[in-house]
Amino acid sequence: MNIIEIIEKKKNNKKLTKEEINYAVNAYTIGVVSDAQMAALLMAICINEMDEEETFYLTKAMIESGRMIDLSSIPGIKVDKHSTGGVGDKTTLIVAPIVSACGVPVAKLSGRGLGHTGGTIDKLESINGFDSDLTTEEFVKQVKEVGMADVEQTEEIVPADKKLYALRDVTGTTESISLIASSIMSKKIAAGADKILLDVKTGSGALITNFEDSVKLAKMMVEVGKRYGKKTVAFITDMNEPLGMTIGNGLEVKEAIKTLEGNGDERLTELCLSLAAKMISMGKEESLEKARKEAEDALKSKRALEKFKEFVKAQKGDINNIKVSKNTFNVYATREGYVYDIDEVTLALECLNMGSGRKHKDDKLKLGVGILKHKSIGDYIKVGDLLATVYYEDVKANAKKIESAFMVGSKKQEHFPLIYGVIE
């Protein structure tokens, strides 16, 4: 087969065969197809998309580029969770320990940052010493002994997605329903969990901003899970404003710990409890009401916090040593009124410019940079009020842009809905 012909075919909006998709994925994984050629194919897919069958074959090809993890030796129903990503989305760091503390094993493969959205692995690696590169045997052993593990896909597990994910991040090919669906589901299925919960973000700060497209993505991933015999549920949740009060890797870990201590942002806490309750319900095959009470108790009793500490220690992390930049400056309000909206993409891009994410494939992240918000939608502010604290290293964020991201008006605005719907 010829990769140029495959690129031309998808560029002309023609359906790719199973064999063509397998060839493109496998040839790129072993280095026969170059980054430039694969970037061209990814762009063609972004523009013309793939149908459900093509997406399934792409997912299958990525799974089969490595080995699948067998979790059958671990008692109970294993549940995995994944978010499509958003600004300030640190839910996995909170949800997984809540679920694990309630006796449901969580076996998770996570990705790195994509575009302006942060990645769970990058966040976890802001914890000094944290090892996200476990062998398959170590991964299974930890899930069995600790009740949860979170690792990056390795050369053994979904290596094709690892290469494609990094390339998409720096080639403007992140916003594709087919590519997002196949990337997420290849990791979820290869990780070996019995059931999967998906948190599909929608809104201005999500990878998929349009609500109808978010629903389409959710349905596509649920269908791929069904084809593999995996019970898959998708929540459609809001990303029209930053989730929680922090943006940036180390800062978000700090906020996750604060939430597990019972002092988290109300909106973030509620979403995490809703997601955790569903996972517990799926894992224990019990009512959602009972699962919600268990999740709330795990949080209130600090059992979830202790589980997070146990998990971090098991992966060689020092929870008392989290990277947060020492250089800071404050941003103050120049207008008076109610905050009716927050441009989270502007805030995320300022963090990206400071080094929190990648502009090039091999960029080394500055894990301590970020923004701490002091105001949220609905808050009344006066001239001179503290809006945000910026943590930076060598590159400062633009204070005027950060200040302008807090949109002020005369009427109080309620938050956007937190959960728009559930697809099963």
Token digits of residue 185: 């589901």
Judge whether 394 counts as a catalytic residue: no
CA distance 346 to 303: 36
Catalytic residue among 187, 230, 258, 358: 187
Which is the catalytic residue, given 82, 116, 307, 375? 82
Is position 230 annotated as part of the catalytic site? no
Nearest CA to 190 out of 103, 69, 307 is that of 69
DSSP 140: H
Residues 240, 231 contacting (CB under 8 angstroms): no
Question: How far is it, in rounded angstroms, from Cα 96 to Cα 93?
Answer: 6
Q: What tokens appear for 184 in the block?
A: 């997420």
- Catalytic entry in 161, 169, 199, 238: 161
Q: Which helix (H) or strand (E) holds 308?
A: helix 303-314
Residue 150 CB burial class (10 angstroms; 0-12, 13-18, ≥19): buried
User: Rounded to an integer, what distance in angstroms lies between the CA atom of residue 122 and that of residue 106?
Assistant: 19
Catalytic residue among 81, 168, 188, 195: 168
Longest dimension (CA), the chain: 65
| Sequence-separated (6 or more) residues with CB below 8 Å from residue 289 | none
Q: Considering only CA atoms, which of 100, 60, 49, 74 is closest in space to residue 279?
A: 100
DSSP 69: P
- When computed from its CA atoms, the radius of gyration of the chain, rounded to whole angstroms, is 21
Helix (H) or strand (E) holding 291: helix 288-300
Active-site choice (83, 178, 183, 214): 183
Q: Which residue has the tokens 């087919």?
A: 178
| 254 carries an active-site annotation | no
Q: Is 82 a catalytic residue?
A: yes
Whether 335 sits among the annotated catalytic residues: the reply is no
Whether the Cβ atoms of residue 320 and residue 141 lie closer than 8 Å to each other: no
Show which residues are catalytic. 82, 161, 168, 183, 187
